[in-house]
Amino acid sequence: MLITTVLQIYKRNTYLQKQIDAILKQTIKSDKIIIVHNEGGVDFNYPENVQLIYANPNKKFHLRFAVGLLVDTEYVAFFDDDTLPGSKWFENCINTINKHDCICVANGRDVIPENKTQTCPGGWCNPKDQEVQCWFGGHAWFLKTKNLKYMWFDDIIEHNNGEDIQLSANAWLYKKIQTFIPPHPISEKELWGSLKGMELGSDKVASYLVNPSHYIDRWNLIEYYLTKGWNPI
Q: What is the pLDDT, as a whole number, of residue 159?
A: 80
**CATH number listed for the domain at residues 3-227:** 3.90.550.10
Give Cα separations from 120 to 123, 126, 133, 221 (angstroms). Answer: 8, 6, 11, 18
Helix (H, G, I), strand (E, B) or coil at 111: strand
Burial of 177 (0-12, 13-18, 19+ CB in 10 A): buried
What residues contact 230, with CB distance under 8 A and at least 6 apart? Answer: 135, 169, 172, 173
Q: At what angle do helices 214-227 and 163-175 cross, to 10 degrees?
A: 10
**Residue 35: CA count within 13 A, CB half-sphere:** 22
pLDDT band at 202 (very low <50, low <70, confident <90, very high): very low
Higher pLDDT, 103 or 209: 103
pLDDT band at 13 (very low <50, low <70, confident <90, very high): low
Q: Cite the beta strand spans of 12-89 per DSSP E.
A: 32-38, 50-55, 75-79
Measured CA to CA, the distance from residue 7 to residue 23 in angstroms comes to 10
pLDDT band at 115 (very low <50, low <70, confident <90, very high): confident
pLDDT band at 130 (very low <50, low <70, confident <90, very high): very high
Q: What is the pLDDT, as a whole number, of residue 203?
A: 44
CB 129 within 8 A of CB 154: no
Higher pLDDT, 215 or 91: 91
Burial of 24 (0-12, 13-18, 19+ CB in 10 A): middle
Question: How do 136-144 and 103-112 pair as beta strands?
Answer: antiparallel
Q: What is the pLDDT, as a whole number, of residue 58?
A: 57
pLDDT band at 201 (very low <50, low <70, confident <90, very high): very low
Domain boundaries along the sequence of the chain: 3-227
Q: What is the pLDDT, as a whole number, of residue 197?
A: 60
pLDDT tens figures, 148-198: 999 999 988 888 889 999 999 999 999 999 999 999 999 999 999 999 765
Mean of pLDDT values over 95-118: 94
- Asked if residue 231 has pLDDT above 70, the reply is yes
Q: What is the pLDDT, as a whole number, of residue 137?
A: 97
Q: What is the pTM of this model?
A: 0.91
